[in-house]
Structure 1
Amino acid sequence: MDDRTAQQIAACNASGRTPVVFIHGLWLLSNSWEKWAAVMEKNGYTALAPGWPDDPETVAEANAHPDVLAGKTVGRVTDHYAAIINELDRAPVLIGHSFGGLLAQMLAGRGLSAATVAISPAAFRGVLPVPVSSLRSASPVLANPVNRGRAVPLTYQQFRYGFANAVNAHEARQLYDTYAVPAPGMPLFQAAVANVNPWTEVKVDTRRPDRGPLLIVSGDNDNTVPWAVAHAAYKKQRHNPGVTEIVKMPGRGHALTIDSGWREIADTALAFVQRFVQ
Structure 2
Amino acid sequence: MQTIQSKTIVFVTGAFVTNLGWRNWQNYFESKGYTTYAPAWPHKEGTAAEVRNRKPNDTALARVTIKDVVTTYENLIKTLPEKPIIIGHSFGGLVTQILLNRGLAAAAVVVHSVPPFGVIPYEFSFLKAGWRSLGLFTSLNKTYLMSFKTWQYAFVNGMSLEAQQAAYHENTIPESKRAARGGLTLAAKVDFKKPHAPLLFLAGGQDNIIPASLNKRNFKRYSDKNSITQFKQFDNHNHFVVGLPDWQDTTTYIYNWIQGL
Task: State the TM-score, normalizing by the size of structure 2.
Answer: 0.92
Q: Does 1:44 align with 2:33?
A: yes
Name the structure 1 match of 2:260.
Answer: 275
Match of 2:242, SS? coil
Separation in 1, partners of 2:86, 2:103: 11
* Counterpart code for 1:50: P
Q: Cα deviation per residue 1:122-145 (whole Å; 9 max; x = unaligned)?
A: 021121241011011112223533
Contact 1:111 1:208 in 2 (8 A): no
Q: After superposition, where does 1:1-278 map in structure 2 within 5 Å?
A: 18-66=7-55, 67=58, 68-142=60-134, 144-192=136-184, 194=185, 200-209=186-195, 211-239=196-224, 241-276=226-261
- CA shift digits 1:139-164 (9 cap, x unpaired): 22235332534321111111000000
**Greater helix share, structure number:** 1
Aligned to 1:3: none
- Conserved 8 A contact 1:125-1:202: yes
Contact map agreement 2:66 2:180 (CA 8 A) in 1? no
Q: Is the 8 A contact 1:24 1:96 kept in 2?
A: yes
Q: State the one-letter code of the partner of 1:134.
A: F
Instruction: For residue 176 of structure 1, report the CA deviation from its aligned partner.
Output: 0.5
Q: Is the 8 A contact 2:85 2:106 kept in 1?
A: yes
d(CA) in 2 for partners of 1:85 and 1:240? 27
**Mind listing any 5+ residue stretches in structure 1 that lack a counterpart?**
1-15, 195-199
The 3 A distance-change label for structure 1 pair 147 and 191 is farther
Please name the residue that 1:11 is paired with: none
- Give the Å deviation of 1:17: 6.6
In the alignment, the residues of structure 1 paired with residue 140 and residue 260 of structure 2 have an alpha-carbon distance, to the nearest angstrom, of 41
Mean CA deviation greater in 109-118 or 122-131: 122-131
Residue pair 1:162, 1:224 contacting (<8 A) in 2 also: yes
Count, aligned residues: 254
1:231-250 residue CA offsets vs partner (Å, 9 max, x unmatched) = 11101124353100011111
1:82-141 Cα shifts (integer Å, max 9, x gaps): 111000001100000000000011000000000100001002112124101101111222
Contact 2:49-2:170 at 8 Å conserved across structures:
no
State the shift of 1:76 in Å.
1.6
Q: Distance in 2 between matches of 1:69 and 1:260?
A: 31
Report the alpha carbon displacement of residue 59 of structure 1 after superposing the two structures with TM: 1.0
Counterpart CA distance in 2 for 1:49 and 1:227 is 25
Distance 1:229 1:133 in 2: 11
Helix, strand or coil at the partner of 1:145:
coil
Residue 164 of structure 1: SS of its match in structure 2? coil
**AA of the residue aligned to 1:118:** V
| CA drift at 1:262 | 1.4
Farther-moved stretch of structure 1 (16-25 vs 106-115): 16-25
Instruction: Extract structure 1 runs of 4+ deviating beyond 4 A.
Output: none
Separation of aligned partners in 2, 1:233 and 1:145: 29
Alpha-carbon distance change, 148 to 275 in structure 1, aligned in 2, over 3 angstroms? farther
CA separation in 2, counterparts of 1:231 and 1:258? Answer: 22
How many angstroms does 1:212 deviate by?
A: 0.4
